[in-house]
Amino acid sequence: MLDFSKANEWKIIEINFDPSALGKVEANFCLGNGYLGLRSATEEQYRGETRDLLVAGTFDRFSEEEVTELPNAADVTNIELTLNGARFDLTQGTIQAYSRELNLQNGLLTREVEWTSPKGENFTLKFERMVSLKRLHTIAARVTITPDQDAVLMVQSGIDGRTTCDGSQHFTEGETRFYDKKYLQYTPRTIQSGITFVLDSTHKFTVNGAVMEPKSDINILRRRMFSKFALEVKAGQAVVLEKFSNVFTSRDKELAGYTREQLQAHALEQLKSDEKEGFDALLAEPAACWLDRVWMRAPITIDGPDFDQLAIRFAQYHMQLMTPAHDNRMNIGAKGLSGEGYKGHTFWDTEIFLLPYFIFNMPEVARSLEEYRYLSLPGAHAKAAHNGYEGAQFPWESAWLDDGEVTPEYMGTDIVTGQLIKVWSGFIEIHITADVAYGVWQYYMCTGDQDFMDRYGYELMLDCAQFWASRLEPGEDGKLHINDVVGPDEYKEHVDDNAFTNYLVWWSIGKAIEYSKMLQEEKPELYARLDEKLGLAALREKWAEQVDDIFLT
Amino acid sequence: MLDFSKANEWKIIEINFDPSALGKVEANFCLGNGYLGLRSATEEQYRGETRDLLVAGTFDRFSEEEVTELPNAADVTNIELTLNGARFDLTQGTIQAYSRELNLQNGLLTREVEWTSPKGENFTLKFERMVSLKRLHTIAARVTITPDQDAVLMVQSGIDGRTTCDGSQHFTEGETRFYDKKYLQYTPRTIQSGITFVLDSTHKFTVNGAVMEPKSDINILRRRMFSKFALEVKAGQAVVLEKFSNVFTSRDKELAGYTREQLQAHALEQLKSDEKEGFDALLAEPAACWLDRVWMRAPITIDGPDFDQLAIRFAQYHMQLMTPAHDNRMNIGAKGLSGEGYKGHTFWDTEIFLLPYFIFNMPEVARSLEEYRYLSLPGAHAKAAHNGYEGAQFPWESAWLDDGEVTPEYMGTDIVTGQLIKVWSGFIEIHITADVAYGVWQYYMCTGDQDFMDRYGYELMLDCAQFWASRLEPGEDGKLHINDVVGPDEYKEHVDDNAFTNYLVWWSIGKAIEYSKMLQEEKPELYARLDEKLGLAALREKWAEQVDDIFLT
């Protein structure tokens, strides 16, 4: 049960705990920063939850029979509390008061609970969690517990590497280390793609503002390590636990060339620095970042009759979360970084649905997304060649730059026949190649970024048009057809001459003719370079023959 | 809370449901038959449970950094019930009456619950489950639900392949199929060892004794498939769901050479046959089997002051479960087939703790276990050669016949130094090789099985003694020592001249001298064969020089 009242323009609020709707809240209240996405599973575990920590661009393939996907990294958010012998569990005892809210302004997730344990004892708990928009690797949590009576609190918290993608495990068992008896470090590696992950956690307790070191012991089991703390607290005393965590990987651009040991040392140093800052100081940073990068830069105001203002901000929040603006070797996954769906793959959604927002508000992000397409030309060439075509045929689903197509070939089983269902998108939903060209053009039209066009844009558009020239099929009617495709309406497969596809291809070839002429006249050096790559002279002749014969309804 | 009252000599009974002790009951109430072991997790899922289905001998290695282990196969026991909108969950509502019992006589697991849902409605539920001792592949369950008021029942049940070994996934995503809209089949494959598993399930409903087909639909998600059934029931009417399941693998001896399709067809045929029999008829078979194979054959009676009679039967029950008597390529795992601990590996426990029971009661089983040691000589030779010794050095932990040593090299991390802790057993707990020889001799002494000795026994004992001849170290005191070992007291590592080890080596070499002499005189053909393999003439000379110099305290 979410509160969408009009008065509330910055916060998504859950007003009742519903154990049957965990997934919905985990995804909607997701935290992240484009580098990492962290589903908002509660600190304590419940049956049916999905704990996901996804790091953009760290694709791994579980087996030859599966496609590459974003691996689900070890969990650092689980904190199990035992309050005077009763496990903190909202399906037990009585919830006296409850709210969970996500503050879109700064990305702070807060849960406040007044709970009567099955033993009849009252506890006030406040859980806060953040992923920093400034420090891309940092995850911080704060738990404040105030018992109504003297209490013994047991806290179990650490790093748990048993997480999988719905049962598929992408990581080695990993190295467990801890330093100074308080810094936990877990270093697994993705099995197929060989990416090293370093995850760290540490804990800091304060009572009435004074730091204290409770009795603790360390447990190391298969794929996980955690500390157990025991504290005695007086009635009405607030115990505050701050948990600082981070994740670094060997794919991080700024750490290129680091050895595993250097990566581990760097992560540990960052952890200590975050711990020193403390939760409040860490939280102040993303608040300023969000304001600067999003809310002041794209201050969309809607004075509607409903929760429109909240909804648009919710969309802006999630677009910020899901977009790896820090690295042009990566793009946006169809489910962002908020869960395992669509495996982190990039679809046409980038160009058609998401790019306009970035073009108009954060053009440098839009450029990075389009650079990803340029960098993934090797995969697009490979796909075209594999299918017997020329030029760049972009994959329907895209992951690594040189992967080419990563759409699963089969998904599920037909209820009636018992046979596997073929996923046709990867084979014949070909409009993506025209969508990419359209995205480039749209970016250029709105930004006038000539540098981008000269380096990447013209080549992308011409390379795409080369594919189309080889894909058009002459029909008995003297027209050129594009048969057997899936258009944007994915309920219809094996369609001939899909209107969206044919029009965009016609437009794409027209632009290619226009730009190749213009380049020859105005930018002879660039033209010469592209002509050598693509054979523009012959191509333009072909395009000119084709363009007016394309079947359009 | 278990009931161990003296009056109760056949049943282990849990009298209270304790969600914090799930694992204890899952393992103690485990079902199995030596082919498969099925932890007794409840039908409905709880946080903290461990659902394990292990099939003997199907070892797989998750990654180069881990050792081979028994993979945790897909779960067929999960059945989720929704009773008039309330999920059946014993941590919710009120338990009016409860008992869960394992009948050792026939391996029937029964749970009876009177439950008041959070809505205040009463339901009587009875859950029965069995693994057949006769049909090694069959798992059957029966759920009887009687509502006190008219009720809509929702049942979700199928096959779930998301199970892992503490996060390590050994299986491919697997093929999901269903036949005739009612037979579910899941066919994954172990990734490294390439063993195909076929798991099947089907459901049958009766109301007041009449078969009925409720409204149902099939769901296929990643790594799992299940049916959802909806039934309307009158107050006081008993609904009975029978769920028949099975598991077959490409390692099954009797199905050697089957293609995957043949394996699938065979499993499906068996499923239909089991379904036709029905739960009661299936249950009658293992009852007779248990009586015949265990309770009449090894009828141990203890008239003690405590629950001794139950305890000894409990031990007999579990020894039957854990022992793959059907296949001499397999042996007993240290935790049996009741969980992931010890990875299904075979230790010295077989010879020293378990073998005597089988020697005296079921000598053909004891022979099969010893044949496993003979068949795994290639691994023992490899281990000796790797360590620079001669003959057969048996692995401390053993899995595949040709694996050699599979003890993990490291386990956990030292709390003080933060360094990985080396597991020394695999390197220097060498008494296992003498234990194997001792097991052979003990079997022979008790059974007089001359055929076994001629085929396997003498060779095993002589091959082991060859290892010892190469392992003994001359000391400055003129004695032969065995330095730097772990003895049976595993709390002490790097011990010189461990008493148990040295005495058993001395005995082993003595027996080798005795038997090689005897063979030369009485069985010249066998002697010639073994002499050619082992070089007995030279060896006996060496043994004779060594035997009296071995350091003994």
Amino acid at A57: G
Looking at residues B44-70, what average pLDDT do you find?
96
In this predicted structure, the answer to whether residue B7 has a pLDDT above a threshold of 80 is no
Q: How far is B532 from chain A (nearest CA, A)?
A: 45
**Number of CB atoms found within 10 A of residue B493's CB:** 17
Judging contacts by C-beta atoms under 8 Å, the chain B residues touching residue A45 are 47
Please tell me the distance from the alpha carbon of residue A46 to that of residue A49, in angstroms, as a whole number.
6
User: pLDDT for A368-383, tens place per residue?
Assistant: 999 999 999 999 999 9
Q: How many CB pairs under 8 A join A and B?
A: 94
- The residue of chain B nearest to residue A86, with distances taken between CA atoms, is B20
Average pLDDT, chain A: 96
Output the pLDDT for position B413. Answer: 74
Q: Which residues of A123-132 are buried (b: 16+ CB within 10 A; e: fewer)?
A: bbbebbbbbb
Output the pLDDT for position A306. Answer: 85
Structure tokens at A92: 């037990």
User: pLDDT for A159-206, tens place per residue?
Assistant: 999 999 999 999 999 999 989 889 999 999 999 999 999 999 999 999
Please tell me the distance from the alpha carbon of residue A464 to that of residue A390, in angstroms, as a whole number.
9
Between chains, do B412 and A176 touch, taking CB under 8 Å as contact? Answer: yes
Q: Say if CB A426 and CB A407 are below 8 A apart.
A: yes
A499: left (phi over 0), alpha (psi -120 to 50) or beta: alpha
Between chains, do B221 and A162 touch, taking CB under 8 Å as contact? Answer: no
**Number of CB atoms found within 10 A of residue A372's CB:** 21
Between chains, do B167 and A168 touch, taking CB under 8 Å as contact? Answer: no
User: pLDDT for A432-459, tens place per residue?
Assistant: 999 999 999 999 999 999 999 999 999 9
Give the residue range(s) of CATH 1.50.10.10 domains in chain A.
308-547
B490 is catalytic: yes
Amino acid at A278: G
Average pLDDT, chain B: 96
Mutation site for B-interface testing, chosen from A169, A268, A340 by largest number of B Cβ within 10 Å: A169
**Catalytic site residue from B364, B473, B490, B541:** B490
Which member of A163, A172, A181 has the closest CB to residue B65? Answer: A172
Q: Give pairs for B291-298: CB < 8 Å, separation 24+.
A: B291/B105, B293/B133, B293/B320, B293/B362, B294/B320, B295/B105, B297/B361, B297/B362, B298/B357, B298/B360, B298/B361, B298/B362
What is the ipTM for the molecules in this complex? 0.92
Considering the domain A2-252, what is its CATH architecture? Answer: Distorted Sandwich (2.70)
Judging contacts by C-beta atoms under 8 Å, the chain A residues touching residue B172 are 63, 65-66
Which member of A46, A65, A413 has the closest CB to residue B220? Answer: A413
Looking at residues A123-137, what average pLDDT do you find?
97
In this predicted structure, the answer to whether residue A5 has a pLDDT above a threshold of 90 is no
Task: With both helix axes pointing from N to C terminus, report the angle between A536-547 and A458-471 in degrees, rounded to the nearest 10.
Answer: 60
Looking at residues A39-45, what average pLDDT do you find?
98
Amino acid at A409: E
In this predicted structure, the answer to whether residue B124 has a pLDDT above a threshold of 90 is yes
Cβ-in-10-Å burial (0-12, 13-18, 19+) of A351 comes to buried
Judging contacts by C-beta atoms under 8 Å, the chain A residues touching residue B191 are 63
Mutation site for A-interface testing, chosen from B90, B162, B168 by largest number of A Cβ within 10 Å: B168
- Which stretches of chain A sit within 8 Å of chain B by CB? 20, 45-47, 62-63, 65-66, 87, 91-92, 161-164, 166-169, 172-173, 175-179, 181, 191, 217-218, 220-223, 225, 412-413, 415, 418, 420
Question: How many residues make up chain A in this entry?
Answer: 553
Mutation site for A-interface testing, chosen from B90, B159, B164 by largest number of A Cβ within 10 Å: B164
Q: Say if CB A95 and CB A113 are below 8 A apart.
A: yes
DSSP helix/strand/coil, B419: coil
Looking at residues B525-537, what average pLDDT do you find?
97
Give the residue range(s) of CATH 2.70.98.40 domains in chain B.
2-252
Judging contacts by C-beta atoms under 8 Å, the chain B residues touching residue A163 are 167
Average the pLDDT over each of A337-341, B177-181, B385-389, B453-457 and give the range with the smallest value. B177-181
Between chains, do A173 and B66 touch, taking CB under 8 Å as contact? Answer: yes
Structure tokens at B447: 């059974």
Instruction: Give counts: helices (H), strands (E), chain B.
Output: 15, 23
Judging contacts by C-beta atoms under 8 Å, the chain A residues touching residue B87 are 20
Structure tokens at A323: 């977009």
In this predicted structure, the answer to whether residue A355 has a pLDDT above a threshold of 70 is yes
Please tell me the distance from the alpha carbon of residue B208 to that of residue B550, in angstroms, as a whole number.
76
- Which stretches of chain B sit within 8 Å of chain A by CB? 20, 45-47, 62-63, 65-66, 87, 91-92, 161-164, 166-169, 172-173, 175-179, 181, 191, 217-218, 220-223, 225, 412-413, 415, 418, 420
Output the pLDDT for position A181. Answer: 85
**DSSP one-letter code for A75:** B
Between chains, do A167 and B179 touch, taking CB under 8 Å as contact? Answer: no
Which member of B161, B164, B177 has the closest CB to residue A418? Answer: B177
**DSSP one-letter code for B64:** T
**Number of CB atoms found within 10 A of residue A445's CB:** 9
Please tell me the distance from the alpha carbon of residue B72 to that of residue B163, in angstroms, as a whole number.
6
Torsion (CA) A10, A16, A22, A28 in degrees, nearest 10:
-10
In this predicted structure, the answer to whether residue A81 has a pLDDT above a threshold of 70 is yes
Which residues sit opposite B495 in a β-bridge?
A: B485
- The residue of chain A nearest to residue B343, with distances taken between CA atoms, is A222
Which member of B47, B66, B173 has the closest CB to residue A168? Answer: B173
Q: Distances in Å between the alpha carbon of A302 and those of A5, A29, A243, A259?
A: 14, 22, 38, 50
Q: Which residues contact B368 (CB under 8 A, 6 or more apart)?
A: B325, B327, B328
Q: What percent of chain A has pLDDT over 70?
A: 99
DSSP A45-70: --TT----EEETT--B-SSTTS--B-
DSSP helix/strand/coil, A494: coil
Output the pLDDT for position A415. Answer: 67
User: pLDDT for A276-309, tens place per residue?
Assistant: 999 999 999 999 999 999 999 999 999 888 889 9
- Determine which helix (DSSP H) or strand (DSSP E) holds A197, and give its type and residue range: strand A197-207
Q: How far is A162 from chain B (nearest CA, A)?
A: 4
Q: What percent of chain B has pLDDT over 70?
A: 99
Q: How far is B41 from chain A (nearest CA, A)?
A: 14
Output the pLDDT for position A103. Answer: 96
DSSP helix/strand/coil, B75: strand
**DSSP one-letter code for B296:** T
In this predicted structure, the answer to whether residue B1 has a pLDDT above a threshold of 90 is no
Residue that has been written with the tokens 């000589």 in this structure? B377
Between chains, do B176 and A46 touch, taking CB under 8 Å as contact? Answer: no
Q: Of the spans A3-7, A258-262, A302-306, B177-181, which averages the highest pLDDT?
A: A258-262
Judging contacts by C-beta atoms under 8 Å, the chain A residues touching residue B47 are 45-47
Output the pLDDT for position B297. Answer: 95
Residue that has been written with the tokens 């070191």 in this structure? A213
DSSP A216-255: EEEEEETTEEEEEEEEEE-TTPPEEEEEEEEEEETT-GGG
Q: Tell me the CA end-to-end span of chain B in Å, nearest whole number.
A: 47
Q: How far is B270 from chain A (nearest CA, A)?
A: 19
Q: What percent of chain A has pLDDT over 90?
A: 92
Fold for domain B308-547?
A: Glycosyltransferase (1.50.10)
